[in-house]
Structure 1
Amino acid sequence: MPAAITEEQTVLDREALLDVAEKLFYRRGIQAVGMDELRTVSGLPLKRIYRIFPTKETLVVAMLRRRDRRWRGSLATHLDQVPDPRERILAMFDWLGDWFAEPGFRGCAWANVHGELGSSSPAVAAEVRSHKQAFHDQVAELVATVDPRVTEPVYLLAEGAIVVAGIHGDTAAAHHARQGAKALLDATS
């Protein structure tokens, strides 16, 4: 009889599977990656994968949640290095520009997943909305110390830059959005 799988091993297997899933799903899309490929690349038996994530949908939701924490955490860490409130807003666009320039950048993971599964998976759609709301709240908190009236335009500039960079591969989208945010801030000063 094989040894029981420890909780520690389950955590390690879960993280390894999420790493593989995130890499493959982001690069190729959810529907293009089958569970057999996840098994092959992760090295985990299919039975083990389904014990950790009973469905592909639960795996996708967990992957999006983890990516959200890391993505928004990275943004917050970057912004924490900028003391001036106005410059912090503009620094968000610099961070976006750095992200857009990363090798393998394929746009917004949440928009990509929503485009694939949003209409057929309420759980995935809810997770995408949760991320977008959390990012909106992060932008609102950032802008509140300068001028809350520009929250929506600044948020839309950020989201628009993400879409343009993802679809057109245009890393300059962050710079253009930064210029728009600066003009908004200048107009409200």
Structure 2
Amino acid sequence: MTKKEDKSQPGEELVKVNKWDGSAVKHALDDAVKTCLLGDRPHLKEQFGLVNTRLALCALAVGVAIMAHAWDYTHPFPQSRSVLMFSVLAYFALMGVLTLHTSFREKGTFAVAVHKEKERTYEASSDMKKYDDKYLLTMSVRDSKGQREVNSARSCAAFIDTNGVILDNLVANEVNRLYNLLSAEKKDK
């Protein structure tokens, strides 16, 4: 679990994380990358399409479950057999679609941003294997010329001090480096 503490300068906060909890470290680093990517670039606007799709699928599944419960309440079991069977199948089908969406479309994407003036979409995704200290950050840009991506695989210790505080300036340096590589690659083509 992450904890925010006040820095010496007003308006800034330190994010402290249990450095031995890999999941908490990954999520804290994801938040820091997202803050750097969107906070330092006012021309980028966050897009919520992936999250909204996931929420819509979950809401549909919950709606099907509520409908099954309500139908079974008003029409006890022998009468509600076909509705319950349909609801169970629909629920599992929706969960299957949700699993496919998160596995093959999201793929660890935690930030999607659109350039306000130009038709360019930036995505940031990450991966950190269990019991591994390597934080794999992937940034990609999609525009009319196609899609390009750059990767960074560094130890999470490069971004966290010995007390478990996320070092925002080091995260920002890495995000800026990857963003500049994408921009340079874009200008070369």
Q: Give the TM-score, by structure 2 length.
A: 0.26
Structure with greater proportional strand content = 2
Q: Give the TM-score, by structure 1 length.
A: 0.26
Structure with greater proportional helix content = 1
If you compute each CA radius of gyration, which structure gives the higher value, 1 or 2? 2
